[in-house]
């Protein structure tokens, strides 16, 4: 098909920027030149990758798949070239809001002691699963696994309880635990970068009013000021203490399973060793500090 790196770079930028204008600026090329490159790529593949109108641009299903593949291939090439001159790179670990709660620091310290030659870099991504598919991270901790993750390998690690987040002055703040019904009459803030909570958590006849915020800081602020309540998991409660916010267990909400995910074809030589380290470390730490069940086997 004679597809070249410039074709992949063009599609990656178009998918990232959402416009030909923005992609051309990111690649430092002219808009007509970028449009010709896209037309050439579509012609060589014999399929439409981008639906374009005068005001709108969206990747087709085929374009979305190739966009992710393009990112992964370009990232792998950049890594290979960098390792040629600088030696093996760090293992990149992706997460969204919280890595593994109070397990995080012991786990990473243990890795450093046992594998001093392979550094680990923890990176926050709004969508760590997508970052994994694009090759931006090598492994990721996920609290929700989408159907698109079928191309990934996953290992269930343990279950986290769901927590309610309420303002310290809220009448519920003094309770030892709450139920979903206690929150149903309150506005519930949903974060665009988290995938563990939606209105579907409540029975259809008792679903609360919800609104979306852009990130964890906005979510916490809305709760601390009493504008909303929130629902999250134990990892958030550990990683994001916040003035004016109280976290409470939800007695009747199903727990959330934390997974470790990595590509079917590992992008880093230490992937398998890291998977085993996570599994063994969590199993060893499954005593009195952590009541939720370890699932990794």
Name the more confident of 130 and 88.
130
Q: Under a CB-based contact definition with an 8 Å cutoff, are residues 231 and 132 in contact?
A: no
pLDDT band for position 290 (50/70/90)? very low
Pick the CATH number of 162-249 from 3.40.50.150, 3.40.190.10, 3.40.50.300, 3.40.50.410: 3.40.190.10
Pick the CATH number of 5-83 from 1.10.10.10, 1.10.150.120, 3.40.50.720, 1.10.260.30: 1.10.10.10
Same CATH fold assignment for domains 88-159+256-284 and 162-249: yes
pLDDT digit string, tens, across residues 138-188? 999 999 887 766 778 999 999 999 999 999 999 999 999 999 999 999 999
Residue with tokens 């204008």: 21
pLDDT digit string, tens, across residues 79-120? 788 777 777 789 999 998 888 988 999 999 999 999 999 999
Name the more confident of 297 and 273.
273
* Residue-wise DSSP of 105-140: HHHHHHHHHH-TTS-EEEEE-SSHHHHHHTTS-SEE
Q: Given a cut of 80, is residue 286 above it in pLDDT?
A: no
Q: Which pLDDT belongs to residue 155?
A: 94
Report residue 180 CA to chain centroid gap: 25
Domain ranges of the chain: 5-83, 88-159+256-284, 162-249
Q: Given a cut of 80, is residue 255 above it in pLDDT?
A: yes
**Residue 97 dihedral angles phi and psi, to the nearest 5°:** -95, -45
Beta strand 162-167 pairing with 230-233: antiparallel
d(CA 215, CA 52): 30
- CATH topology classification for 88-159+256-284: D-Maltodextrin-Binding Protein; domain 2 (3.40.190)
Q: Given a cut of 90, is residue 237 above it in pLDDT?
A: yes
At 197, is the secondary structure helix, strand, or coil? coil
**Residue 87 dihedral angles phi and psi, to the nearest 5°:** 85, 180
Radius of gyration of the chain, Cα coordinates, nearest whole angstrom: 22
Q: Which pLDDT belongs to residue 214?
A: 86
Report residue 144 CA to chain centroid gap: 9
């Amino acid at each position: 098909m004679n597809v070249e790196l410039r074709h992949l770079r063009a599609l990656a930028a178009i998918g990232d920027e959402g416009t030909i204008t923005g992609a051309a600026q990111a690649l430092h090329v002219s808009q007509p030149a970028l449009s010709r490159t896209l037309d050439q790529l579509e012609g060589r593949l014999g399929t439409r990758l981008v639906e374009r109108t005068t005001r709108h641009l969206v990747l087709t299903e085929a374009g979305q798949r190739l966009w992710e593949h393009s990112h992964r291939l370009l990232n792998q090439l950049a890594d290979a070239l960098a390792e040629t001159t600088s030696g093996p790179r760090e293992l990149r670990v992706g997460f969204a809001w919280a890595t593994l709660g109070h397990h995080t620091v012991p786990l990473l310290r243990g890795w450093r002691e046992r594998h001093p030659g392979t550094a680990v870099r923890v990176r926050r991504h709004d969508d760590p699963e997508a970052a994994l598919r694009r090759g931006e991270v090598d492994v990721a901790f996920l609290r929700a696994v989408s159907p698109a993750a079928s191309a990934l390998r996953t290992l269930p690690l343990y279950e986290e309880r769901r927590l309610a987040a309420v303002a310290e002055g809220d009448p519920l703040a003094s309770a030892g635990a709450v139920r979903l019904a206690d929150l149903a009459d309150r506005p519930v803030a949903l974060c665009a970068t988290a995938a563990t909570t939606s209105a579907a958590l409540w029975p259809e006849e008792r679903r609360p009013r919800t609104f979306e915020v852009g990130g964890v800081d906005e979510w916490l602020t809305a709760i601390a000021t009493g504008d909303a309540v929130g629902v999250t998991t134990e990892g958030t409660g550990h990683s994001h203490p916040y003035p004016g916010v109280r976290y409470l267990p939800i007695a009747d909400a199903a727990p959330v399973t934390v997974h470790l995910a990595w590509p079917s074809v590992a992008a880093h030589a230490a992937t398998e060793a890291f998977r085993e380290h996570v599994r063994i470390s969590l199993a060893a730490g499954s005593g009195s500090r952590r009541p939720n069940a370890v699932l990794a086997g």
